[in-house]
Structure formats: structure tokens, C-alpha cells
């Protein structure tokens, strides 16, 4: 890819897992945002820590997209799984992303839809296809789930939260996080292809998922970062992969 690839992660543990694959990097702080420049196989990378939550993610993405004009954005890290059959450390690569804490339905919009925006944001078809190729090349690929990512400024853990999400989205939400909606929304506004690549750190509704999150955070972050590196290598060899939609 001729343009830089932007890699973003929310938490310190997720960032460290990502930087471990690109140890030769320059670090700086720009508008209170931690940025890292690296090259991998000739491909220029700009790596950033967004911080947790939608506003932090949107601010960081707007900065990256306006100042560095990347060819695509890959968001790596962890998420919580909502579907039966998912297991901790499975991969979650959503095709669509929606807010689960936005309600403008009295004005005739779909639940999760903001005024002036789509009800759901779609990941790049080209990047999804490229990632499927990466996964097929793995000697022991992890299970990978797609579907809908639900994003909110809440750590989802209670039966009441789960019931509301399942009711509002007809049980179609495969996983939840706190940044994906803002990342998808900002990339869509800027017209930049994006992909969200997460590993499952916990499963809301199954026991103490807050404890699971703390226990498996680093392992899940490492799992997603490892496959993010493989995706970067494939993109550097196929410069037009992200342009397919």
C-alpha cells in the first residue's frame, strides 16, 4: 500500500501487544495522543493509542485521518462475545458496526442511528477479503466470528444490559466494545476503509466477565495483534486490497 496504514488500539495492553510486532518505531505525543511511526517490509505505519470510549476514539481517528491521510485503518484489541458457541480468544471481525446506546427513535430513526448518519457502518469488503486470506494461511487458525459489533460507552456485564441489546437488535449483535462505533463512524465520514479485528476477552452474561476480561486481556490482545501483523504484511504486498470497498 502506497499510503500509510493506521493501526489503532484503545488500551495500554492492546498497544503494547501491537508495538511488540513493530519494535523499530519512533514515538511522540501529538495533541495528547501517543503516536508511533514504523516501517514493516517497506510499508509505512502510523500507530496510535486511542484511549477508551467513543469520544477518545473519534478524536484520535480524526487526528490520524486529517494529519496522516492513511490508506486504511485497522483497529486491533479485545471485545466481549455475545453469541453461544463463542469462546475466549476466538477472533471477532465484524462486517457491520452499530451504536447500542444511541436512541433517536422518536424522530423516526432506527435504534442506534444518529441524525445524519447510517444506522450501521460497514467494514471494508476489500479488507475483509484480505483478512480471510490471512486466516486461511495460518497453520492453526483460531475460530473467527463476523456479524454485527455493538458499541457503547459502557462495559457490558449485567443481564439487564444484555437483554436490552438483544431486544433492540433482534439478538444479532455478535460482540460488544467501547470504541468500534466511533472508529467506524469517523472512518466512514472521512471515506477511509477500515477493519476492526478483535479477540474475545470475555463473554458478558457468563459468570464474572469483568474478572475474565482482566484475566485474558493480555492474551486476547496478543492474539489480535499477531494477526494484525500478518494482515499488514499481506496489504503491503497487495497495495489495492483495501480499495475493493
- φ/ψ (deg, to 5) at 195: -145, 140
Summarised one tens digit per residue, pLDDT across range 75-84 is 999 888 777 7
Q: 106: buried, middle or exposed (CB in 10 Å: 19+, 13-18, 0-12)?
A: exposed
Active site members: 14, 202
Summarised one tens digit per residue, pLDDT across range 68-109 is 999 999 999 988 877 777 788 889 999 999 998 899 999 999
In the chain, at which residue ranges do the beta strands (DSSP E only) sit? 5-9, 25-30, 33-40, 43-49, 72-81, 91-92, 96-99, 121-122, 144-145, 148-151, 173-177, 194-202
Query: pTM of whole model > 0.85?
Result: yes
At 80 the three-state DSSP class reads: strand
- One of 3.30.360.10, 3.40.50.20, 3.40.50.2300, 3.40.50.1580 is the CATH number of 5-234, namely 3.40.50.1580
- Are residues 82 and 176 in contact, defined by beta-carbon separation less than 8 angstroms? yes
Measure CA of the first residue to CA of the last residue in the chain; give whole Å.
15
Q: CA angle, 91 as apex, 87 and 227 as ends, to 5°?
A: 140
Amino acid at each position: 500500500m502506497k499510503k500509510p496504514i493506521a493501526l489503532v488500539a484503545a488500551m495500554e495492553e492492546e498497544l503494547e501487544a501491537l508495538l511488540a510486532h513493530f519494535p523499530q518505531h519512533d514515538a511522540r505525543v501529538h495533541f495528547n495522543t501517543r503516536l508511533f511511526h514504523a516501517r514493516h517490509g517497506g510499508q509505512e505505519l502510523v500507530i496510535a493509542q486511542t484511549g477508551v470510549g467513543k469520544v477518545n476514539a473519534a478524536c484520535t481517528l480524526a487526528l490520524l485521518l486529517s494529519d496522516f491521510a492513511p490508506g486504511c485503518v485497522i483497529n486491533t484489541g479485545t471485545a466481549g462475545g455475545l453469541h453461544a458457541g463463542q469462546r475466549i480468544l476466538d477472533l471477532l471481525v465484524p462486517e457491520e458496526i452499530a451504536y447500542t446506546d444511541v436512541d433517536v427513535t422518536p424522530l423516526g430513526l432506527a435504534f442506534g442511528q444518529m441524525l445524519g448518519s447510517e444506522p450501521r457502518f460497514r467494514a471494508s469488503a476489500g479488507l475483509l477479503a484480505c483478512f480471510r486470506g490471512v486466516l486461511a494461511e495460518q497453520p492453526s487458525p483460531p475460530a473467527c466470528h463476523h456479524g454485527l459489533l455493538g458499541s457503547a460507552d459502557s462495559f457490558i456485564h449485567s443481564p439487564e444490559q444484555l437483554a436490552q441489546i438483544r431486544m433492540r437488535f433482534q439478538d444479532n449483535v455478535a460482540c460488544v466494545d467501547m470504541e468500534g462505533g466511533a472508529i467506524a463512524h469517523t472512518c466512514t465520514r472521512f471515506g477511509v476503509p477500515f477493519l476492526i479485528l478483535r479477540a474475545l476477552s470475555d463473554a458478558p452474561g457468563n459468570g464474572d466477565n469483568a474478572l475474565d476480561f482482566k484475566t485474558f486481556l493480555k492474551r486476547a490482545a496478543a492474539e489480535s495483534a499477531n494477526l494484525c501483523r500478518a494482515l499488514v504484511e499481506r496489504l503491503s504486498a497487495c497495495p489495492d486490497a483495501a480499495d475493493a470497498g
